[in-house]
Structure 1
Amino acid sequence: DLIEWTSKDAVRFFLLSRKPDTEYTFDVDLAVQKNNDNPVYYVQYAHARICSVLASWGGDRQGLNTVDLSPLQSQQAQALMLLLAKYPDMLTAAAEGFAPHDVTFYLRELAACYHSYYDAERILVDDEALKLARLALVAATAQVLRNGLAVLGVSAPEKM
């Protein structure tokens, strides 16, 4: 019934957001909201927002793998890159500690960092080197969001 009222993604994300030894009351009203208060919506929306930017650009995403990231000097870009670099260690620690809630916390933090970056900087700018560096950064962010959600068994929609 809970899945029918909300969604499979909301149920999984919400339940995995808590340590297994803590009591939890499932907030159905929050789980059905389509806004930033709903943590699974917030993370999925960050992924969809990036997919929209990449679709607007329309270029070859594979070419972004070799882009020079040195033009990314802003505080928001640096923060996003540092957070992306923490993903492998976080995932290893979460797996070794049987702590899927660490993955949900990380994904929420990454989504917040991306939204902050998106609000601070235009990605599709005229300066080609800067545009490609920004696109590479957001494409990497989308990949980590998609991978983290997949670990949890939650979808990563490209449109919302």
Structure 2
Amino acid sequence: MEQKQYVITKKDRKSQLAATILLFLMLLGISVLQRKTDHLLLHVLSFVLILVYIVLIGYELYYYFTYTRTRREQLLIIKEDRLILQGEVVFPSQIDLIVSEGYINSSIGIKLKKRKWIPQRLQFIFANPNKEQEAFDQLQEWADTYQIEIREGKIRSII
């Protein structure tokens, strides 16, 4: 098998960021309205939830400005004995399964062994819709060579 190279992009996370901010604002509004009651547990839980949402929003903003805005071209290189995804080398022995979400412009995630979630750095979309099927077929052929399962499903990640 010869080396193949495909241009990829990261999944768009603007909707996740918007939903996180909206939920945070709703929670903040509820906690302001609940100030009339004098339950200590309610105040502690509200404070903890607000802190969690602040951390989530910070992570989303950090991810958006760090990874989404990269100027360099992102590539998936399929070699005989490894995948190179944006400079990160992934060997077949490290891969548990490959998950494909959707049919047109599908998201692809590579789940590593001993991991519950698919890391953000291993999630991508093929940038060129005209070569998407060819690229996916090549990835499927490579996965079949190493008996790696490709499954249709929801890509689960931490955020």
Assess same fold via TM > 0.5. no
Structure with higher RCO (Cα < 8 A, 6+ apart)? 1
> Taking structure 1 as the reference length, what is the TM-score of the superposition?
0.27
Give the number of the structure whose residues are more often strand, by fraction.
2
Larger radius of gyration: 2
TM-score of the pair, normalised by structure 2: 0.27
